[in-house]
Chain A
Amino acid sequence: ETGVTQTPRHLVMGMTNKKSLKCEQHLGHNAMYWYKQSAKKPLELMFVYNFKEQTENNSVPSRFSPECPNSSHLFLHLHTLQPEDSALYLCASSQEPGHLNYGYTFGSGTRLTVV
């Protein structure tokens, strides 16, 4: 394990469902991130949190709602998703946003399928 734990590992949900993805890090990092990884496309940064405060939202649709109650936990709340939202969702953490030496550590991801 990398020190960043994501649950669940797999999720199948209907377009009218509401579900949440969870990420927890035990590395003492202050920054946490959500990424979307679709087939044959580069990782797409969705949200950045630094010391529990959202510092970046890359034009993500409102059907994705992040929550960061503390520096160790990050959630991604999902509702009324579309089939094109099916992807691998990766959580990452770092000592602080973009810091070189205390670099990104990724979780194992949640494979999301929207039916």
Chain B
Amino acid sequence: KNQVEQSPQSLIILEGKNCTLQCNYTVSPFSNLRWYKQDTGRGPVSLTIMTFSENTKSNGRYTATLDADTKQSSLHITASQLSDSASYICVVSAKGNEKLTFGTGTRLTIIP
């Protein structure tokens, strides 16, 4: 069964600090992996999309990594800001039917 597991479930850090969120998946065959940011009461917004051949992709202070061999991805946030407080959702697409499998997300809270 295709699954996406994220850790930690929640995280609280001080403003200005860095943090790393983890995503492990069992989706096969793999097509692509996406990270979304979801503010409270809003829809998810795409941060990055990574394919099999991409190891690292950055979007401002967000850097995603992908290890297709170990089926792991991480999202690193640098110099966190209060506006980074949100849920971060990892989504993996299967090759062929391109069905999306969603993780439950990591709830990140930045405190001043």
Q: What's the least CB distance linking A18 to chain B, in Å?
A: 25
Q: How far is the CA of A111 from the CA of B101 in the complex (A)?
A: 22
A97 within 8 A of B: yes
Q: Which residues of A contact B (CB under 8 A)?
A: 2, 4, 6, 40-43, 45, 88, 90, 92, 97-100, 103-109, 111
B104 within 8 A of A: yes
Asked whether, in the complex, the Cβ of B104 is within 8 Å of the Cβ of A41, the reply is: yes
Q: Which of B6-43 contact A (CB under 8 A)?
A: 31-32, 34, 36, 41-43
Contact with A along B27-69 (1 / 0, CB 8 A): 0000110101000011111100101000000000000000000
B74 within 8 A of A: no
Question: How many A-B residue pairs lie within 8 Å, measured between CB atoms?
Answer: 52
Provide the residues of chain B in CB contact with A90, threshold 8 Å: 43-44
User: How many of B's residues come within 8 Å of A, CB to CB?
Assistant: 24
Q: How far is the CA of A103 from the CA of B48 in the complex (A)?
A: 11
A97-B34 in contact given A42-B4, A42-B103, A111-B41 (Cβ < 8 Å): no
Q: Which of B32, B97, B104 contacts A42 (CB 8 A)?
A: B104
Name A56's closest neighbour in chain B (CB-CB): B99
A104-B97 in contact given A40-B104, A41-B104, A42-B4 (Cβ < 8 Å): no
Q: Which 6 A-B pairs have the closest CB atoms?
A: A98-B98, A106-B43, A42-B102, A43-B102, A108-B43, A106-B44
Provide the residues of chain B in CB contact with A42, threshold 8 Å: 4, 101-105
Q: How far is the CA of A88 from the CA of B105 in the complex (A)?
A: 15
Asked whether, in the complex, the Cβ of A2 is within 8 Å of the Cβ of B98, the reply is: no
Provide the residues of chain A in CB contact with B99, threshold 8 Å: 98
Provide the residues of chain A in CB contact with B108, threshold 8 Å: none
Chain B CB within 10 A, most for which of A43, A99, A105: A43
Q: Which of B46, B97, B105 contacts A98 (CB 8 A)?
A: B97
Asked whether, in the complex, the Cβ of A2 is within 8 Å of the Cβ of B49, the reply is: no
Q: What's the least CB distance linking B102 to chain A, in Å?
A: 4
A103-B46 in contact given A42-B104, A97-B98, A98-B98 (Cβ < 8 Å): yes
